[in-house]
Structure 1
């Protein structure tokens, strides 16, 4: 476990960090069932999904939310501000069609399912919490969450996320997230995401 004294500092990502953050997410998520569903071909999976992550990372950095990254580029959190009207990345449909190719229907299906089950109350959405595999179990994910939760709690703002598995679900529960009703989003018959809500704190 990394100690507080040696844990990397955190900073807000800017436009120059988009590629680095996309690399972090691509490495961290490559093993996930939902990502295997999106791109079944392992030889193309990381390239295609990395380009997809870039669309959202750039959108968050450019004003739709916030991206927090460790100074050593070991982990990143991509947040969206849903206390205001939703926007999607500029040119998203065109860019998605170009990068996804034959897998476009799968990406569209995931987008539709996630949006259909998204809560309507104002909140911040943790879309990606990613830690490079060689940095797992060092507390970086918790450090990133604590950073943004402190700011959200100061204003009593709730948070929402979709956990990708039962192990992640347990981590998020330790940080105040609760199962929602319905609790899951069925991407496929055996691939589900877990809907979790963290109520706004006061003080």
Structure 2
């Protein structure tokens, strides 16, 4: 569609955070994590900043050249000790992994919004739903500026990584946070794993898995 995409650098952190804040502030999941518009405006960018910093440390961020869309990616290693097909059955997390996830979730809450247990809840729930076993690429977040949604920017931003997945035989994984994004991901070959993440008293998230596509 003629939109140039490139890898973001750490010097563009503020741009990435502002874009994610704008793209997700009215998302159903963000509205659940930070109920009340005033509270959300005060704390939401902090959560997006934490996600951005983690991704710069452990993954990579792709950005539309015009700053209208951004995607946070991580390459997840496989675990040869886990058997089964994690995208359909859900491989169990070990006790050590669960403890580590709990520590990470608690640290995220402390850093972003200490009095808000929902920050920790969503981190724990999504971590528990994340499949283990096979190496895969994880699309943590993809955001498009509200005024530019519907132009195909998200698809264009994902295309190079999905092409790499197909070329290297890698699955991909994500959690869709609303019905519109789920429909987009289904068109790109993602399939609902069958076990939703039900936020207590809030919206549903759909974990989705994509097998590498043949030529």
TM-score by length of 2: 0.82
Greater displacement, 70-79 / 149-158: 149-158
Identify unmatched segments of 5+ residues in structure 1: none
d(CA) in 2 for partners of 1:174 and 1:130?
18
Give 1:42's match in structure 2, choosing from 37, 42, 45.
37
Asked if 1:107 corresponds to 2:107, the answer is no
| Offset, 1:150 | 1.1
1:60-119 residue CA offsets vs partner (Å, 9 max, x unmatched): 223x1110000111000001111268998xx8754631421321x111111111111111
Shift of 1:125: 0.9
2: CA distance, partners of 1:76 / 1:191: 23
Preserved contact between residue 108 and residue 119 of structure 2 (Cα < 8 Å): no
Aligned match of 1:123: 136
- Check if 1:154 corresponds to 2:167: yes
Q: Which residue is 1:144 aligned to?
A: 157
Q: In the TM superposition, what is the alpha-carbon distance from 1:34 to its structure 2 partner?
A: 1.2
Are residues 1:194 and 2:196 paired?
no
The list of structure 1 runs, each at least 4 consecutive aligned residues, that deviate by more than 6 angstroms after superposition, is 85-88
Aligned length in residues: 193
Is contact 2:139–2:172 with CA below 8 Å preserved after alignment?
yes
The match for 2:15 is 20
Equivalence for 1:68 = 62
* Partners of 2:118 and 2:200 in 1: CA distance: 10
Please report how far the alpha carbon of residue 133 of structure 1 lies from its aligned counterpart in structure 2 after TM superposition: 0.3
TM-score (norm 1): 0.87
CA RMSD in angstroms comes to 2.1
| Structure with more strand by fraction | 1
Aligned position for 1:167: 180
Q: Unaligned stretches of 5+ in structure 2? A: 80-96
1:54 to 42, 49, 68: 49
**Is contact 1:39-1:45 (8 Å) kept?**
yes
